Structure formats: C-alpha cells, structure tokens
Chains A and B, each alone.
Chain A
C-alpha cells in the first residue's frame, strides 16, 4: 500500500506570532518556519506503518512556495521515500488544497492519506475531511491510534466525550491528533540521504486546479488582552475575594 502525507510549512510552533501593525495579517518575514506539528505526527505514523510492514511507499506532498521544499526535505529525512512540491506563491485555502490532493490521488493511487488534523497557522481543521468528501472515501479524524487490517483501517478518535473507535473501508483518510505518536528526530546521516531522494515539482494546473480566494480576509487584529490581576498570599483571602469581590463563589 502507498501512503500519501501532505505537509505544510508554517510558523514555528514555539514562536509567538505578531500581528502586522496595518492589520493585513501576521508577520512572516524573517520568522522561523517549520513543518506543521500535526503533519510531523502524520509522517511519523506513516513511517511506523511502513516499519510494521503495512505500507511500502510514503510520498510527502507540500502545496506552497519554493521554500516548502525544506519542509519536504524534513519529511524525507524523517523517512518519506519521495516528495512532490505543488508550487503556489499565494495562500491556498483548504478546499483548493483538497482539490489538488485529489489530483495527486488520481495519479498516485494511495491506499491511505495521513494528514495532520489542522495547521497551526489558519487553524481551519478542514483539509482531510474535504479531501475525503471529494474522493468519496471514509474519514477517521483526530486519530490517536491507527490499525491497518485487510481492506480496512480501525481508527481510535479523540472526541469531546473521550474516545470513539471506527472502522474505515480503505482507501481512506486519517487525520492525526496530538497523541497518535511522538515524532522522531531526523539523524544527520538521514538528513544527508534525504538530499538525494526524489522531489518532483508540480503546479496546481497540473492537477486541473485554479487556486482562488473564497474567504476574503478583511482584517487581522490582536486579540483582546487580559490584564494581570493581583497576587494574594493566603487562601482565606482568595476565597473571600472570589465570594465578595468577584461574586463567582
């Protein structure tokens, strides 16, 4: 079985994003960019499935600017076999990402797509579900466990009340939640080896997709800030203040 793992280049998760003063977005110039953490988990899961003999090949796909090549090299260093960069210089919304990935699926014929459940920049949490709809496949979102059986995948999902287990007919879409696994670090030799792994460059037009903006961003602003309150030395005083001052007890 072939696995496809889409990966997105985003602001590093440890950096606090700054809203531009003119309200046109978040400052991305000279900011450290890395692979979306949920996508790292998806890559790791793909590698583990291959190590367990459940998959033969892992193809990493990124849709983004030329620099997304670095993100793909990271995926290759972790253990993906080859990569496809679908080069687009503008922001691509989840629906168009899903349409491009549908095109990739038509050429590659994967048995399973593994995606991160959401990207930590737009926090949309849509691409996997949309891709499943466009392909007419089953979806196992927010996965904390994936088991591959004969023609099916059993996925444990993190849901509001706890966990839900579903069985999906393959091919299918799985999106990774935080606790699916702990991604590995790429070793230096594997980083060197990754430089020689194949990386194809494509365009959305190669998949018959014309990228457009459906959600117009009118404004980006800072969230309302809370003010730091007061420090209290004794619990008795805290309880008193919560009762009398704040009125919440």
Chain B
C-alpha cells in the first residue's frame, strides 16, 4: 500500500492537522508520502520532511496552487494518481473541498471524516451528526479518505526525509482567488487548542460575548468557540462555530457557557477530555455530557471564574 497524504498549510507553516492525519495514514499501513502543494512553501515541505514515518515529501509549487483552490489542487493530485493506492487528507475545509473532486476523477467513493482505521480498507466514521458510527469497507481499487483529526494524536518528529520537487498541473482556469477575510488572532486555533471556552446564544449580543468570554479565554490561554445559535445570531464569527457543521474539537478542557447542548453542538465537542457546563437551565442537555456543571447565571459565574483563576 502506498499512501499520498495532502499537507494542510498556509505556505508558511505546516498545520498540526497534517501530523494527526499522518497518524491515521500510518495505521492504514504502507509507505506514506506527503504532498505539499502551494507557492513559496519550501519551509512547509521542510517541516513535513521531519515528521516521523514519512518516505518522502513532494513539493508542487505554482501561482495557481497558492490558495489551494480545489480545481488546480485536484488536477495536481490527479497527475500523481498512478503511484498511490490511498489518498488521505485532514477533514478541514480544504480537505473537504478538494478530496471528493479527486475521488470522482478516480471513479471511487470517498470515505469522509474517518475517526478510526480498522484496517487498510475499513474505517469507522460518524453519520447522523455523530448519533451513529458506521464501519464501512471500501471496495474500490483506490481509496480516498478524509480524517477527523480530533480523533488522532499527532505523529512525532524523526529524521528528515528528502523533499522532491514535482511539476504542478496546468491551472484548469475555472476559478480565481479574490480574497481571504481571516481575522488575525493571538489565541490558539480551535482545532489544536488544549482549552476551549465557548459561548451560546445566552450571551445576548456580540459585545457581551466579547466582554464575558474573552477575558477568561485570555487568562486560560484558551481558544474561543461558539454554538451555532450564537453564530447565527451574529454574536460570534463563523470560524468560531463548534459543532457538526462547524469545527469538531477534542481539547483537554471544554467550557460551555450558556450553551444548551443541541445534538448538533454535542457532535462537535463530546470527545473533549473534560467538559464544564455553565447554564441557567438545570434541564439543559449539556449537563448530560458535562463532567462538572454549574447551574447559574453565566453573567455572574463566568466573571467569578475569571477572578478565581487569578
């Protein structure tokens, strides 16, 4: 079995999602090569080359690959198809965007959001927003897999392996990048944070959300999350959303403030090691998954928590 793992990066840094997806790839078994597709991404390729258990790193660079749009990226992966049995990527918005396009080119069914590798062709994956877990076996000749990285530990570092430059495929010329609207933040990323504090609709406004949640986040060095209801109401930006259709996270500590615990939200955080729920409603479903619960007004409890953390 030879496996091509698609690296997740921003042309400067290799995301730790790649190291986690690598752990899944290694469980499939066989030789793993990492593809770094981008522009000016040599540093990313060098970082990927240090990951333990990799055979080699392929570096494809072109202007069209800079933003890793699905059309040029899938075209480049397609040129490598003959050499590999399995194609693996983290189930990030980049992976989810490009991998089905690759699978269709190869005429195979993709296995999405793998949480456990049973063997080289069988995988466990959540369906129905995590209310059921399916074990599926791919009967195709090649396999395309996206990995829910919160279910895997990152692979460590080892001796550097060679980086080989390869030709990027010609840009299909279907799509053009216009801009990214990405808020810069000093806080850790949701998907790799050790602690997450999340707010729900009970916060009542964008101002209150920031006033109440952010000081605790700063004190804990935590990432900030939000429920879908809070994002829909405009209290928090979309990239903070934790849940089945937002980000799936599994930090050491997850603090849910004013979040009732809809199935949709639980699907995104119930694999956290320790869950704390702060909610006025004693009957809120979030308490059914919380290790520690405080029934109370979050506008009193959360500032108190901030003080107690001094």
Contacts and interface: CB of A to CB of B under 8 A. Distances in A.
A163 B241 CA distance: 13
Interface residues of A, number: 79
Interface stretch (A44-52, A91-99, A185-193, A199-207): A91-99
Contact of B67 (A164, A222, A223): A164
Contacts of B245: 117-118, 177-178
A178 B274 contact: no
Interface of A is mostly: mixed
B97 A139 contact: yes
A239 B253 CA distance: 12
Interface stretch (A58-66, A72-80, A103-111, A230-238): A230-238
Interface string A132-149: 111011111110100000
A178 B228 contact: yes
A121 B127 contact: yes
A19 interface: yes
A126 B111 CA distance: 10
Contacts of A233: 294
B223 interface: no
Given A133-B74, A158-B238, A223-B130, A123 B244 contact: yes
Contact of B113 (A123, A157, A239): A123
Contacts of A11: 128
Interface residues of B, number: 87
Pick from B96, B122, B180 the residue with the most CB of A within 10 Å: B96
A124 B112 contact: yes
A220 interface: yes
B92 A160 contact: yes
A50 B129 CA distance: 32
Contacts of A235: 294, 301, 304-305, 308
A187 B140 CA distance: 46
Contact of A125 (B112, B247, B290, B304): B112
Interface string A224-244: 001011111101101101100
21 contacts: A11-B128, A95-B104, A123-B244, A129-B96, A133-B74, A133-B101, A139-B97, A159-B94, A159-B180, A159-B239, A160-B94, A162-B238, A163-B182, A164-B179, A166-B177, A167-B176, A215-B136, A220-B135, A232-B294, A242-B274, A249-B253
Interface of A: 11, 16-17, 19, 26, 93-95, 98, 117-118, 120-134, 136-142, 144, 154, 157-169, 172, 177-179, 213-223, 226, 228-233, 235-236, 238-239, 241-242, 246, 248-249
